[in-house]
Every structure is written in C-alpha cells, then in structure tokens.
Structure 1
Amino acid sequence: MMNRTSIFSIRFGALACLLILLLTITTGCWNRMELSEISVVLAMGIDKVEDQYQVSVQFVDPSQMSRNRTANRSPAVTISERASTVFEAVRKLTTKTSRRLYFSHLRLLVFDEKTAKEGIKNAMDLMFRDHEVRPDFYIAVAKKNTARDILAIVTPTEVLPAMDIDKSLIVSEKTWAPTAAINVITLLQTLMQDGKEPVLTGVSIIGNLEKSKTMQNVQNPLAYGEYKYEGLGVFKEEKLLGWLNESDSKAYTYIVNKVTSTVGVSKCPNSGGFIAIEVTEANTKIITNVENNKPSITLKMLIEGTINEVQCTINMQDPNEYEQMEQTARETFQTMIEKGIKTVQRKFGVDIFGFGEAFHRNHPKQWNIWKEQWDDVFKQLPVQIDLDYKLNKVGKIINPIDKEPDKER
C-alpha cells in the first residue's frame, strides 16, 4: 500500500501537469491594441460623389481630452477619402492618420440624400459584415447638406461634436415627437419585415456653413451655425422617396407608438390665441379588420396631457368652457393624425406605419393574397381613429393671469 507521502506526490504532480497544460492554451488577448495605437471613431458619414463613395470619419484626439489640453486644437478630427467601395475608402483613410481607426464605439452614421435616394444597402454592407462594428449606432440622413458637413460642425454643448449630435437625437425623440431615433438594428429589422417600410430622421445645418466648421462657432453666445433634426425621410425598401413635414412626422411617431412626451398646440375655442399642451401619455394600438375579404384599420389611441400655456381669455373653472377647450384640442389632434396618414398614402404610397405587418401577424392567410400588391392596397386602406383624449391638469394656476384677477385672490 502507498503511504500518504506517495499519494500527495502523485496528486501534486498531476496538478502541476494540469497547470502547465492550461498555461499553453492561455495566451491572453490575441488582438489586443494599445490606446496609443488607435483612433476611436465616433461618427461616420457617407456621401455619393459622382460614382464613388466619399467616406468621412470623426475620431477622438486623445491628447485633447485631458484637462490640460490646449484651447487652439479641436478634441475631434474629421478626415475624408473617396473610393468605389466604402471599405476601400476606410482603408485609404490610413494615409491621413498615424493611428488605426477603431469603429467599435461608433455612435452615428450619416448618409447624404444622393446616397439615400440611390439606396443605402450597398453603402451599409460593411457595417453589417465587419465584426469590429457593434450594431448599436444611430442613423440619419443629411438634409440639404453633405454628411461630411454634418460631421465637420463644431458644437457648443459637448466637447466631441459626434456625441452632441448623438445625444440630441436621443433626447429629442423623448421630448419632441417629430424626431425618431432609428438605430441600425431597427433599420435592419424593418428592411427584412413584410408590410412595413423604414423611415430615418433628417439632419441639416442652419446658418453659416463655413464658419460653423471653425472654433469661432463656439466662441460667441450666438453660434454662426448649428445642426437641427427636421422631418422624417420616407423609404421604399432601401431608397429614400422624400420627406414628411413636422406635422406628418409627429403623426407617424404617434401611430407607431414612439411618443414618450411632446408638445401639442390647439387654437382657443371661440377666441384668438393658442393653448400649449404637454402630452404626458400616448398609447396606440393597431387593430386589424377584415370584412368581405377587404382590409381596414382601427387606431385605438389614448392621449393624456397637461395644459402648460394659455394665450387666450378662458374660464377653466367653467365645465362647459373647459369641455370646449378639450374638444377643440381633440379635434386638432385627430385632424393631424388623419392628415399624416393621407399624406403618406397619397404622396408616397408605402406603408411606413406597419399596417401590413399587423395583417401579416393577425391574418396570415389574407396577407398572402395582398402581399404582392400591398402598396396598392395600402393607398386605399380605410383607417378609422378611436380616440380617447383627456386634459387632466392645468398647472399651478387655473385661469390665465389676466382673467378676473380679483376673483383669483
């Protein structure tokens, strides 16, 4: 029989062999990169110039991100190159920077209108295929400007312009209904769905374009130029057809249930002036109906709001006047939704609301009949609105400040 010392020796030897074996297969990060060797890309722009893609990237200058950075250098750098493919243009950018471009932290991708109208699938193929690019960035279309112009603007709020533009898109979607923050996953899912076409938010530059690209743009209280998100671009599959105005863009976000909070404006009943309403709750359900093999849609909508501004003389303590105000606001809202639907049906003729996707989900047999000619069906699709609209609060005061002040005391 083996003694305890022999048993311990055997176990120790086996453990040592196991550790040596583990060391041979533990090699660390095979693709490790030092921060001093890379440039972190935050935004990318793609423009179509003649028959080539002009690719622009905005990356961080690490030396300018410290507290002791010099004021005469920008913390972000934008460079551009042209090629027949996006990947080739990206590789050509290495001739203009000493560091390898690193795309894992990409926050924003911007197309110009020409690229969007010709089709964005080819331009985006690299972004879907490259393992280094994480699919969580947002996408916008440069409206009236080039994507390079959007990336070159110097913004006053954030040190890095790309972060300013990215954050603004997210905040605007939550507080201003005409804006929709569409990320790459949402776009891809919509492109692969039956019965729904994509939209992308437009972004443009207002003011002096050339001065907005200089440090002078942030050295005065009033900037020479500023970016602005305005309108939604309507696509048919991968190609841009045109733009929705502010009202129709707002109708879209209500219908697809993307409104968190926004502002609605209604005329005062029986007088001049306007009432501003903060929408605090918005919920929409798309109900599909099939009767005699003909489709129709009912939008069941719940809207609740708070009165935030009154520009007319009205006694909100009077139930009749309050009801008139609420009714006027309800009619204004319903008219906006109806107009938005009609604009999309008549002007563009493509289903961006996902009505077809709802029929696909709820009535698969009928959908197989309508699928091939859904655009034609959508143009004539009856849409009814079942609206529950409530104004629940009036703020810290009840009546306008000049309405019977003696009685308010």
Structure 2
Amino acid sequence: MTLYRRLLNLTALLALLTFLLSGCWSRKELNELSVVIGLGVDKLEDGYEVSLQVVDPSQMSRNRSAERSAVIVISEKAPTLFEALRKATTKSPRKLYLSHIHMLLFDEEAARTGINEPLDFLLRDHQVRPDFYIAVAKDFKAKEVLGFVTPFEVLPALELYKSLEVSEKLWAPTSAIKVTQLMKIFTEQGVQAVLTGITLTGDAEKGNTMDNVKQPTSLAEYRYIGIGVFKQDRLLGWLNESDSKAWSYVTNNVKTTVGTSECPRSDGRFAVDITHSSSKMIPYLLNGQPAIRLKTVMDANIGEMHCKLDLEDESNLLQLQNTLNRTLAELISTGIRNVQQQYGVDVFGFGEEFHRKYPKLWKTWRNDWDDRFKTMPVQVDSEFKLNKMGESISPMDYKQAPKE
C-alpha cells in the first residue's frame, strides 16, 4: 500500500471519528437546572402532595448568607407524581433535575395506602438514578421533614442520607433500604419488605427555621426510629427498638452495634460492642409442617461493666457469655414471635429458605405462606464470644478480696 493511500485512509478514519466525538446531545448547563436532592410524598384524598428539596446555587459559595437557607422546598398537589412535578416548574426558574435525589420520604398515610404507584414514575423516568434511600415519616408529613433545618449539613437531604447510612452500620434498629432493594423484595416470594421510620422531636415548627442552628442545642431534632413492616407495598405497623434489632440480627443486617444484659450474680448491667454477627436459617419439616432453626454467632468486646466481677477469672467471663447467649436468644425469639402475632407477615425471609430447600412443597405453600408463618416454630441457638475487655480489666469499683 502506497504512502498516499495510507494517508487517505487515516484522513477518512479521523473524519469518521469526529461524528462519534461530537459531545452529549442532551447536555445541560448547571445554570439551567434546579438540582433536586430530596423528594417527599404525602397522600391526599384525591392524589398526592409532592415536595422537592432543591439546592439554592447562590448558597453554595464560600460567601453564602447565614440568613438564607441553602435549599428551597417546593410543593405541588396533583393526582399523580408526574403531574405534580411538572406543575412544580411554575415555581422554579429552572428545569427540575432529578438525577441527584438522595432521600425519598413517604408519610404514613401514603405508605399505608401503597407506595407502588408513586414509585412507578421514579423507576420509569430516565433522569432518576435508583440509588437513593427510602424512609417513612412517622407522625409527621414528609413535607415537614424535608423542610427541617439540619444541624450538621447545609443540605438537609444529604445529612439524612449520611445519618441513615452511618446508623445502619453502627446501630442495629435502623435499616438503610435503597429503591432497587425494595423493588427486588416486592418481586420475590417468601419475604415482605421493611422501611425505617424517621420522626422529629422538640419544637418541630421552629425546627423548620434557621433559628434551629443558631445555638448549640437545637430547638428540634430528627431521629430514625424503628422499622416499618409492609405487606406487599402497604405499611402495616411499626416494630419497637428491640424487635427492630431482632429483625436486623436474623437478616444479617448488623455490621456492629451495642448489646446489653443484666449482670450474673450481681446487680447492674454491662454493655458489649458487637463486632461481628451472622445468622444462618436452617429450614426443616416438623410433622410435615415448616419449622426453622436459627443459628446466630456473634463476636463482641466488653464496652462498659457495672458488674461486681473479677474479669481476670475465666469462669466469670464464661458467665457473662452465657448471660449474653440467653439474652440474645430471648430478644430474637421475642422479636420473631411479636411479628408473627401482630402482623403475620414474613419480613425475615424464612419463606425464601423453604423455597430453595423444598421447591415442590413451596408450590403448595406459597399462596398461604403468611398463615403458615404465623404458627411456624422457630428455634434460636446463639453463640456469643467475648474477645477483648478494653484497656481496663475489672470494674473501677471492684475490690478484689485479699489473698490469705
């Protein structure tokens, strides 16, 4: 091939590449967009009230005004989310941009009515990235929670996102559920969904003003509280703190948390830092009916000790471990039993285990699994191992008896 032909081919190739490197056809400049970071859905008689937490770009510079909020909450009412969002553009000088949503909040009424319909739009819209967390506003409207002025971050939705993420890692009674996880559960058999609740404490009305962050002690605070039990896409009710912890233990959603128990052979309590937790479900048949054996293994370090015990004595450590074993087994058993009796829906995923192990039987059980779950026996076996005692060994006020 001659040099001339090679140059001709290279020129043609470069000309072709110019068409492929022409840029993004749907490119939008930031000064043309209103970036939405939080979305709230409140149920009305004839539709929804949709609230959008939008970043105020003028407040993102170092010279931001302390008297002006970094976000603006826009609300609009309509029979559908899609219509409400389009109507909200009448209150915004820029196009609403949904790709950076961090938190989606439903009020209790919307959650009890069903969340599939509002989720349909969010999963269908090409702008929305399905990586945001979902929570249910308990005792408050989603609009009120979105309007709350948070103490640590200037962008409230970002603080709610981070707080839920951190609390799930460090505190078992909360669970950070993303929309993709939720929709996966909705399509599976033998398990029902849960969502964490969020509420406001203190003077909630003043918490929606800048006064909430002008002194060291906030006038109002937000708090993630309990786990909401769903049947299909509808909220049935709430688990208390202990039962929420039990759910996290059973479903292997505990990364680290704090466990407490009464002291053996003395007054007071002690606390441990649980550093590892794993649970294994073993389905089996008992007189032809489903039953579960749950094996839970935990590693922990002593975090606080109010027991009058000499921890240098190995027998005392064994007593602490045995006490923790009984406490944990009772907490998990009580949590499972309360869900069976109060709600009668399998939020633990026991049905999935039977589906895997007994696929033929499952075909006859799947339509009435909730009824079988209500009366299913669950045996809990726990194994607690204490590894470290911290910098000190025995309690500060422990006085060892003098040796004879």
TM-score (structure 2 length as normaliser) = 0.96
Tell me the distance in 1 between the aligned counterparts of 2:288 and 2:261.
39
Match of 1:157 among 152, 155, 171: 152
Tell me the distance in 2 between the aligned counterparts of 1:161 and 1:77.
10
Match of 1:34 among 29, 35, 43: 29
Match of 2:256 among 261, 265, 289: 261
Residue type of the partner of 1:104? Answer: S
Tell me the distance in 2 between the aligned counterparts of 1:251 and 1:71.
44
Instruction: Give the corresponding residue for 1:86.
Output: 81
Choose 295-304 or 312-321, whichever is displaced more: 312-321
Tell me the distance in 2 between the aligned counterparts of 1:276 and 1:212.
33
Choose 157-166 or 247-256, whichever is displaced more: 157-166
Match of 1:143 among 138, 143, 148: 138
Matches within 5 A, 1:4-403: 7-24=2-19, 26-403=21-398
Residue type of the partner of 2:395? Answer: P
C-alpha deviation, 1:405, in angstroms: 7.1
C-alpha deviation, 1:19, in angstroms: 3.3
Tell me the distance in 2 between the aligned counterparts of 1:305 and 1:165.
29
C-alpha deviation, 1:314, in angstroms: 2.0
Tell me the distance in 1 between the aligned counterparts of 2:111 and 2:209.
28
Tell me the distance in 1 between the aligned counterparts of 2:8 and 2:168.
63
- List gaps (5 residues or longer) in structure 1: none
Tell me, yes or no, if the aligned pair for 1:305 and 1:391 is still in contact at 8 Å.
yes
Q: Specify the SS of the correspondent of 2:248.
A: helix
Tell me the distance in 2 between the aligned counterparts of 1:100 and 1:243.
38
Choose 150-159 or 391-400, whichever is displaced more: 391-400
C-alpha deviation, 1:11, in angstroms: 3.4
Residue type of the partner of 2:239? Answer: L
Tell me the distance in 1 between the aligned counterparts of 2:312 and 2:28.
68
Tell me the distance in 2 between the aligned counterparts of 1:147 and 1:54.
9
Residue type of the partner of 2:234? Answer: K
C-alpha deviation, 1:291, in angstroms: 4.3
Q: Specify the SS of the correspondent of 1:210.
A: helix
Q: Deviations over 1:280-311 (max 9, x none)?
A: 11011111112443211111110111111112
Tell me the distance in 1 between the aligned counterparts of 2:339 and 2:267.
31
Q: Specify the SS of the correspondent of 1:59.
A: strand
Q: Specify the SS of the correspondent of 2:61.
A: coil
Q: Deviations over 1:339-377 (max 9, x none)?
A: 000001000000000000111112111111111110111
C-alpha deviation, 1:16, in angstroms: 2.9
C-alpha deviation, 1:108, in angstroms: 0.8
Tell me, yes or no, if the aligned pair for 2:310 and 2:400 is still in contact at 8 Å.
no
Q: Specify the SS of the correspondent of 1:305.
A: strand
C-alpha deviation, 1:68, in angstroms: 1.3
Tell me, yes or no, if the aligned pair for 1:293 and 1:366 is still in contact at 8 Å.
no
Q: Deviations over 1:18-52 (max 9, x none)?
A: 43344345432110000111111111000012222
Tell me, yes or no, if the aligned pair for 2:134 and 2:178 is still in contact at 8 Å.
yes
Residue type of the partner of 1:218? Answer: V
Q: Deviations over 1:135-159 (max 9, x none)?
A: 1111000000010111101011112
Tell me the distance in 2 between the aligned counterparts of 1:55 and 1:74.
20
Tell me the distance in 1 between the aligned counterparts of 2:286 and 2:79.
52
C-alpha deviation, 1:406, in angstroms: 9.3
C-alpha deviation, 1:386, in angstroms: 2.0
C-alpha deviation, 1:312, in angstroms: 3.2
Residue type of the partner of 2:217? Answer: L
Residue type of the partner of 2:64? Answer: R
C-alpha deviation, 1:237, in angstroms: 0.3
Residue type of the partner of 1:39? Answer: S
C-alpha deviation, 1:387, in angstroms: 1.4
Tell me, yes or no, if the aligned pair for 2:255 and 2:275 is still in contact at 8 Å.
yes
Residue type of the partner of 1:210? Answer: E
Tell me the distance in 1 between the aligned counterparts of 2:329 and 2:206.
43
Tell me the distance in 1 between the aligned counterparts of 2:242 and 2:10.
72
Once superposed, which parts of structure 1, at least 4 consecutive aligned residues long, lie more than 6 Å away? Answer: none
TM-score (structure 1 length as normaliser) = 0.95
Tell me, yes or no, if the aligned pair for 1:203 and 1:230 is still in contact at 8 Å.
yes
Tell me the distance in 2 between the aligned counterparts of 1:321 and 1:331.
16
Q: Specify the SS of the correspondent of 2:297.
A: strand
C-alpha deviation, 1:101, in angstroms: 1.0
Tell me, yes or no, if the aligned pair for 2:36 and 2:96 is still in contact at 8 Å.
yes
- List gaps (5 residues or longer) in structure 2: none
Q: 1:262 to 1:95 in 2, by over 3 A?
A: same
Aligned length: 403
Tell me, yes or no, if the aligned pair for 1:107 and 1:163 is still in contact at 8 Å.
yes
